[in-house]
Amino acid sequence: MRKNLRKRIMLANLTCDVLKTLGMDYPLKSESPGHNCLECGNQLPYNARHGKKFCSISCKNRFHNRQQMGPRTMKVRILAILEKNHRILSELLEDDITSVPMSNLLVLGFNPMYATCCYRLNRREMRMCFDISFCMTASRIYDLAYTADLTAPTSM
């Protein structure tokens, strides 16, 4: 019995060697890479469509949701910063304040790295935070004002 097993193993190894020398040692479909679900790692059925990547629709959705989570959370974070900047600038405008030292803004939680628009006008660095425009230097912001209603239809 044991001798028979050894003979079968030797024969199997010999068959593998012969196939290798003939260049016919292709991986079986079930052994070939890329035939596991990209999400859960379970092996896909042997008769799965060529190019199939997921074992189920829920694995596919989970995979794509995870792929999109990084950019989505980044956008949400930046939008939160812009909304906070806008709230701070709105409160200043409500109090008719149009010029503020940067140090005071930073204490309020203003983040000068984020704006919805930046441009140079007569050597001045103009910024916008949605509908509020202002000039910005390293030490302060000034000329704080609401711009014209950007949502109003423009006549051509």
Note the residues at the interface with Zn ion (CB under 5 A). 37, 39-40, 55, 59
Q: State which residue, 45 or 109, has the beta carbon closest to Zn ion.
A: 45
Q: State which residue, 61 or 73, has the beta carbon closest to Zn ion.
A: 61
Number of Cα atoms under 13 Å in the Cβ half of residue 21: 5
Residue 27: CB atoms within 10 A of its CB come to 9
Q: State which residue, 37 or 92, has the beta carbon closest to Zn ion.
A: 37
Residue 130: CB minimum distance to Zn ion, A: 43
Residues 100 and 80: their CA atoms lie apart, in Å, by 22
Residues 72 and 140: their CA atoms lie apart, in Å, by 32
Q: State which residue, 37 or 100, has the beta carbon closest to Zn ion.
A: 37
Residue 10: CB minimum distance to Zn ion, A: 39
Q: State which residue, 39 or 85, has the beta carbon closest to Zn ion.
A: 39
Residues 27 and 35: their CA atoms lie apart, in Å, by 12
Residue 28: CB minimum distance to Zn ion, A: 21
Residue 48: CB minimum distance to Zn ion, A: 12
Which tokens in the block code for residue 124?
């001045």
- Residue 141 in contact with residue 135, Cβ under 8 Å? yes
Which tokens in the block code for residue 6?
């050894």
Residue 68: CB minimum distance to Zn ion, A: 18
Which tokens in the block code for residue 39?
């999400």
